[in-house]
Amino acid sequence: MRFEHETLAQRVCFAPSEASAVVWAEVERLGASRVMVIASASEADLAKSVTSDVPVVLHHDEVVMHVPVASAERARAAATAHDVDLVISVGGGSTTGLAKAVALTSGLPVVAVPTTYAGSEATSVWGLTEGARKTTGVDAGVLPRSVVYDATLTLSLPVGLSVASGLNALAHCVDSLWAPRTDPIDQALAGEGVRALAAGLPAVVADPAGLEGRERMLYGAYLSATAFSSAGSGLHHKICHVLGGRYDLPHAQTHAVVLPYVLAFNAQAAPQVERRLAEAFGTASALEGLQRLRRTVDAPVALRDYGFAEADIDDAVPVILEAAPPSNPREVTADGVRRLLRAAREGADPAA
């Protein structure tokens, strides 16, 4: 066994019903006195409640999916104008992504308070979109210094969005098992993440007001993101980044739809990964376990439901080929990508 694994420097606080007190304590610990709070307009009241004891000098609510460069520049300018010394993000992946964009150029510390299962808060990955192209990178400076997980903050997340967000987290796990820098530690984290998410997601659907399922989901989302940040982006994420940035498809739903097709594409070429996933799902095969979970939670089915057109397939293929990792278990060809995208657009049986 020979590998190198780097553990990210981050403080993680699981604090059910105590987000406000823990956020204040983290701001105090970091010595901040001029705080910028980033939260979408729809979560403004929640963010004000969470940061009620914090010395806030700026509330910023221009949160846009896939973090357009122009939006990032306005947030950076606002932080500079208000002499901000710390950023708090309250929200999902787009909100955390905007906070990371500010940190990328300013070096400001970030405290992340997730309200979804996106996992961006536990990674050093940033992403920006300009025109029709999404660019991602890795920078230790964008990793939030602290993450405050409070399951009560996810109670307002509708079941449908909980499902899509949870499957996005599951995609982090699956991709981490065969990503370019994967190692045994990443794979252990990903396997435990699959078990937590596969148990938590049906519980959220069965009892949306219950906390146990949502706490399992946050735990699984954190594990999945930690594994993903170390292992890097595999084929699944490269495909979804192209689809999201180029065609403005919704992030979580795109991941939820594409995942079974990438799993089916790679499974036979990665039998050890397939067995590990099957064991985590408790089924005879990984695809069977994933599809059973998807049926149980009524997962998103087809990319066409989110605006991906037939004509977009041939346009996307060369861009995906350019982005696909050379280390993918199975050779990525134009025909293979075309068939995968067509099946995902139509919602066809991934086993076929």
This prediction's pTM: 0.93
Q: Using CB atoms within 10 A of its CB, is residue 120 exposed (0-12), middle (13-18) or buried (19+)? A: buried
Name the band, by pLDDT with cuts 50, 70 and 90, for residue 134. confident
pLDDT surpasses 90 at 131: no
CA distance 162 to 350: 23
As a whole number, the mean pLDDT across the chain is: 96
Q: Distance between CA atoms of 231 and 227, rounded to whole angstroms?
A: 6
Domains and CATH numbers, the chain: 11-154 (3.40.50.1970), 159-346 (1.20.1090.10)
Higher pLDDT, 222 or 132: 222
Does the structure show a pLDDT above 90 at 100?
A: yes
3-class DSSP state of 110 = strand
Mean pLDDT calculated for residue range 55-62: 98
Angle between helices 93-106 and 69-81 (to 10 degrees): 60
Model confidence band, residue 83 (pLDDT cutoffs 50, 70, 90): very high
pLDDT band at 7 (very low <50, low <70, confident <90, very high): confident
Contact 220, 135 (CB under 8 A): no
Q: What is the pLDDT of residue 107?
A: 97
**Residue predicted with more confidence, 188 or 133:** 188
Share of the chain above pLDDT 70, in %: 100
The amino acid at residue 1 is M
pLDDT digits (tens, 9 = 90+) for 221-276: 999 999 999 999 999 999 999 999 999 999 999 999 999 999 999 999 999 999 99
Helices (H), the chain: 19-29, 44-50, 69-81, 93-106, 159-176, 184-206, 211-231, 235-247, 251-266, 271-281, 286-297, 310-323, 334-346
Looking at residue 328, what is its pLDDT?
A: 97
Does residue 282 register a pLDDT over 90? Answer: yes
Q: How confident is the model over 295-323, as pLDDT tens digits?
A: 999 999 999 999 999 999 999 999 999 99
Q: What's the pLDDT at 246?
A: 94
